Amino acid sequence: MEWNDEQLMQLQQSLAQVTGAIDRKRRLDVRNAMRRETASVQDYVIESCIDYRQELKVLEAENKRLKTSNTLLAAQNQALLDARKKNDELLTFHRKVLKQARRAQRPNKECALCDHPLACQKSLCVYCQQWMCQCCRRWCNCKGPCTVTMCKQCSAKEQRECPKHNAAWIESERGRALMTYYEEHKYDSSSDEESSSE
């Protein structure tokens, strides 16, 4: 079968129309696919944003709770530090009192002022009633023979004279109490007199 020019022309036109239709169909399919993909991506992004917002709200609530808990813990820690400081101060005071009590119970062991051994050379301060060694002893500043002794601490204060010669101090309530205590706990002053004569 032979084709003439007119038939060939018609055949080419038909082929061109079919090819164009196929191309348009392909482009339309591609466009629709891209639109569907874009829509799915948008939906995914929207869902992700919603999830992230919800997670952010949860994290903010957790952060607020942790800040509140941290504030409470800081207050409790400060209270514990204050209590520990008070306990340390109280413990230091009790140790001091216990040390003084032990020194009072063991007058022959050590001096209450310098921790020197007392041995047989010891004196009782008329003011604070502490046993002291020879190097911490101060004699009465009054004239005439007087075997009353004072420690360095008491003699450094305003009471420069012993209670026997300080009439104003003797009349005070503390002076009478200390003099009574001194008379009740009187010791052998011969060693003091001997050491003073030396």
The counts of H helices and E strands in the chain are 5, 4
Asked, for residue 113, whether it belongs to a domain, the answer is yes
Domains of the chain: total:
2
Asked, for residue 2, whether it belongs to a domain, the answer is no
Question: Do both 33 and 65 map to the same domain?
Answer: yes
Q: How many CA atoms lie within 13 A of 127 on its CB side?
A: 21
User: pLDDT digits over 99-131, tens only?
Assistant: 766 666 655 567 877 877 776 677 778 777 778
Asked, for residue 1, whether it belongs to a domain, the answer is no
Q: What is the mean pLDDT of the chain?
A: 74
pLDDT at residue 70 greater than cutoff 50: yes
Residue 40 sits in which domain range?
A: 8-105
Q: What is the pLDDT of residue 21?
A: 77
Query: The tokens of 19 are what?
Result: 């090819």
pTM above 0.95, yes or no: no
Question: Do both 16 and 89 map to the same domain?
Answer: yes
* pLDDT interval class at 36 (50, 70, 90): confident
pLDDT at residue 63 greater than cutoff 80: yes
User: pLDDT digits over 139-179, tens only?
Assistant: 766 655 666 778 888 877 755 666 667 666 666 666 666 66
Asked, for residue 127, whether it belongs to a domain, the answer is yes
Where would I find the H helices in 106-185?
A: 152-155, 167-171, 173-184
